A and B are shown apart, each in its own frame.
Chain A
Amino acid sequence: MKGEKKRFFQIFLVWTLLFCPVTAFAHVKGGEVIGLISGLKHPISGLDHVLAMIAVGLWGAQLGPPAIWLLPVTLPMVMALGGMLGLMGVPVPSIEIAIAVSAMVLGVMVLIEARPKLWLAVLIVASYAIYHGYAHGTELPPGGNGLLYSIGFVMMTGTLHATGILIGLIHRWLAGRMALRLAGACIAMAGVMFLWRAIL
């Protein structure tokens, strides 16, 4: 009798655990916080991305109008295009190398205070933005909300760019111009380091 009771309770316990239901939140949205926070964190999680985005802002400030406002309008859209290519599974080769080279080239542009034609400046920034967007767009953690991840990473990228422009406003003073060139040199050297790591 006692053994029968014990066996019954064992079976009862197993079945109870098996049937323990999860609330059926059919279609309900999930992972909003994970998505948004991951999106906000991703652009600042790698120094290569941070430096490249700030370099674009610094260069835009050196170039002045209209580049100073054209670049921040263009950059997020081209980055998103890169992200879209990544999400659609279009293979883009040598992402890490291209990101490292972008930091190097943009750093040099700031260092030498390059003033190419506007279309060329936009082309240089846009071509590297595709690689940065590609790297960001494909790295949503499991369970995260894709839309909020996208909003988060676009916002943070824009904020980094704006930070670069704000720092670049020191360009109006002679000492500020020298400091910007020095910053460009540092970014270019960091780019060389990233390239070294990417190749090895």
Chain B
Amino acid sequence: MREISIIRISSFLTVASLILPGPASAHLVTTGMGPVYDGIGHLLLTPEDLVPALALALFAGLRGAVAGRRAMFLLPLAWIMGGVVGSKLNVTSAFPIPALSFLLLGGLIAADLYMPAAAFTLLSILVGLVHGFLNGVALNEGAGLLGLIGITTMLFILVTLVSASVVSLKRPWTRVAVRVAGSWIVATGMLMIGWAMR
């Protein structure tokens, strides 16, 4: 009888430990190397954020060195500001908001559209605020503000490298290649909307 009660207790403990749920790793990539690296990993592995950041860098590069310099500082700054606001709120949207960034930025690249400096500044801030806000909401349950610092650091590096590379392109066909990349980004944005409406 005593033997059975021991078995019962141990089996109860076993079942109880099996029922314990695993971690709810909502939205974020966990690197195991701390929140800053989680943030870096999140940006690099999340196309919804990575592609618009690269797209803005490509467009900045097409618009020249001045636009490139603006983007490399304004985008991360706006991103972190949006992130701080987002981390205080818990807003979700069924509509894939990043799809709009894909369409807008990809369209601007594909058309190689001239844009006045003020409008470009506004665009960089807007993209940074929106995506930073979305990141901030996601980071609420994970890496927190340190994760946001990781994201913005990586953003600065990416935007600097990509926009500088595009500025340095001299041959006409290389600019066409950048515009083709823009059309790919628009195409992906259209499909994102399609997936959302499915």
A19 touches B19 (CB 8 A): yes
B27 nearest CB neighbor, chain A only: A27
Residue A62 lies at the interface, judged by CB distance under 8 Å to chain B: no
With A26-B26, A76-B183, A151-B188 as known contacts, state yes or no: A8 contacts B197, CB within 8 Å: no
Give CA–CA (A146, B8) in the complex, Å. Answer: 47
Residue A147 lies at the interface, judged by CB distance under 8 Å to chain B: yes
One of A79-87, A95-103, A116-124, A186-194 contacting the partner? A79-87
State which residues 146-182 of A face B: CB under 8 Å. Answer: 146-148, 150-151, 154-155, 158
**Of the residues B11, B24, B25, B186, contact of A12 by C-beta under 8 Å:** B11
State which residues 137-183 of B face A: CB under 8 Å. Answer: 173, 176, 179-180, 182-183
B191 touches A73 (CB 8 A): no
With A19-B18, A26-B24, A146-B192 as known contacts, state yes or no: A89 contacts B198, CB within 8 Å: yes
Max chain B Cβ within 10 angstroms of own Cβ: one of A23, A24, A76, A86: A76
Minimum C-beta distance from B173 to chain A (A): 8
Residue B22 lies at the interface, judged by CB distance under 8 Å to chain A: yes
Interface size on B, residues (CB 8 A): 42
A77 touches B180 (CB 8 A): no
> Chain A contacts of B189 at CB under 8 A?
80
With A26-B24, A80-B188, A155-B184 as known contacts, state yes or no: A146 contacts B18, CB within 8 Å: no
B193 touches A20 (CB 8 A): no
Give CA–CA (A73, B25) in the complex, Å. Answer: 39
Residue B15 lies at the interface, judged by CB distance under 8 Å to chain A: yes
Q: Looking at chain B's contact residues, is the secondary structure mostly helix, strand, loop, or mixed?
A: helix
Q: Looking at chain A's contact residues, is the secondary structure mostly helix, strand, loop, or mixed?
A: helix
A73 touches B180 (CB 8 A): yes
Residue B94 lies at the interface, judged by CB distance under 8 Å to chain A: no
> Chain B contacts of A22 at CB under 8 A?
22
Minimum C-beta distance from B127 to chain A (A): 18
Residue A16 lies at the interface, judged by CB distance under 8 Å to chain B: yes
A154 touches B198 (CB 8 A): no
> Chain A contacts of B186 at CB under 8 A?
76-77, 80
Give CA–CA (A85, B116) in the complex, Å. Answer: 35
With A5-B4, A76-B183, A147-B47 as known contacts, state yes or no: A16 contacts B15, CB within 8 Å: yes
B194 touches A24 (CB 8 A): no
With A20-B18, A69-B176, A84-B193 as known contacts, state yes or no: A151 contacts B47, CB within 8 Å: yes
> Chain A contacts of B110 at CB under 8 A?
73, 77
> Chain B contacts of A88 at CB under 8 A?
194, 197-198
Minimum C-beta distance from B25 to chain A (A): 5
B191 touches A137 (CB 8 A): yes
Minimum C-beta distance from A158 to chain B (A): 6
Minimum C-beta distance from B17 to chain A (A): 10
Give CA–CA (A21, B7) in the complex, Å. Answer: 22
Assuming A21-B19, A27-B24, what are 11 further A-B pairs, CB within 8 angstroms?
A16-B18, A19-B15, A21-B18, A25-B22, A28-B28, A73-B110, A77-B183, A83-B194, A147-B47, A150-B188, A150-B191
Q: Can you name 10 A-B pairs with beta carbons within 8 Å?
A: A8-B4, A23-B21, A23-B23, A24-B21, A25-B25, A73-B182, A80-B191, A83-B191, A84-B191, A86-B194
| Shortest beta-carbon contacts, A-B, top 5 | A23-B22, A87-B194, A80-B187, A84-B194, A150-B191
